[in-house]
Amino acid sequence: MTAATTLIAWAGPAPPRSRHVPPDVAHLSDEALIALAARGEESALAALYDRYGRVAYGLALRVLRDAALAEDAVQEAFLAVWRSAHRYIPERSKASTWILTFVHRRAVDLVRREERRRADQLTDVDAVLGGIVDEEAWLRLERERVQTALRKLPDQQREAIELAYYGGFTQSELAERLGQPLGTIKSRMFTGLARLRELLTEPDHDPELWQTKRPTT
């Protein structure tokens, strides 16, 4: 690590503050924003959307591969955040994790309802998403970090995790699709996630993945 590099004590990505946010809440932590949202403070929800709306939309688009459905998933997820804000417990989970859990859940619910993915190949995604020129720099760095971690997994573990998380497949569907016993799929997902956790959330484990410039805000 050089002087020019910062080792981030990883507390989740630090998205840049958005220019849309009224100045009175833009400086607040995610946790404080959720507490304000629990009191019905709309500008707090707006600020959370400005921080996580983009990654939420990217995730929903990846799972659903349809812009209108992705918007629906994001909208429902943020409304779920709004309704459930008073139940959020900061000690139990990071705000970003809490919010993105809603988003993924809604996207997967929708993709299963639509059965869209069954007709599509997962590899078509890049075509759908192609030509993104305005992606924010910190998101690109973060994407590279996650993708590097995924590439460090054995192929079969990576495949199981990607098809489950980005494809919305259930473990039983994966077993069938990959022609493997269910137990094999379960153990690939578990071992892969445990390794991913080491790679992404434990800084000592793989310093290479942690030396990243803090996004400018």
Partner 1 sequence: MADEAAHDLTAAYALDALAADDEQRFEEHLATCERCREELAALRDPVALLAYGVASPAPPPELRARILDAARAERSNVVPIRRRLPAALGAVAAVAATVAIGLGLWAASVSDDLDRERSVVAILADPGAKSIPLEGADGRVVVTGTGEAALVVSGLAAAPKGKTYEIWVAEDGKLLPAGVFDAKRERDVVRLTRPVRAGSGVAVTVENDGGTEAPTSKPIFTAGL
Query: Which is nearer to partner 1, 1 or 89 (by Cβ)?
Result: 89
Instruction: Tell which positions 42-81 bind partner 1, by CB under 8 A.
Output: 42, 45-46, 49-50, 53-59, 61-62, 67, 70-71, 74-76, 78-80
- Residue 61: exposed, middle, or buried by beta-carbon count in 10 A (0-12, 13-18, 19+)? buried
14 binds partner 1, rule: CB under 8 A: no
User: CB neighbours of 58 closer than 8 A, spacing ≥ 6?
Assistant: 129, 139
Smallest gap from Cβ 203 to partner 1, in A, equals: 13
Under rule CB under 8 A, residue 89 binds partner 1: yes
The CB-of-179 to partner 1 minimum distance in angstroms stands at 17
CA 16 to chain centre: 16
Amino acid at 187: S
Q: Which of residues 178-217 bind partner 1 (CB under 8 A)?
A: 183, 186-187, 189-190, 192-194, 196-197, 200-201
Report the nearest approach of partner 1 to the CB of residue 27 (Å): 20
- Buried b / exposed e over 158-181, threshold 16 CB at 10 Å, is bbbbbbbbbbbbebebbbeebeee
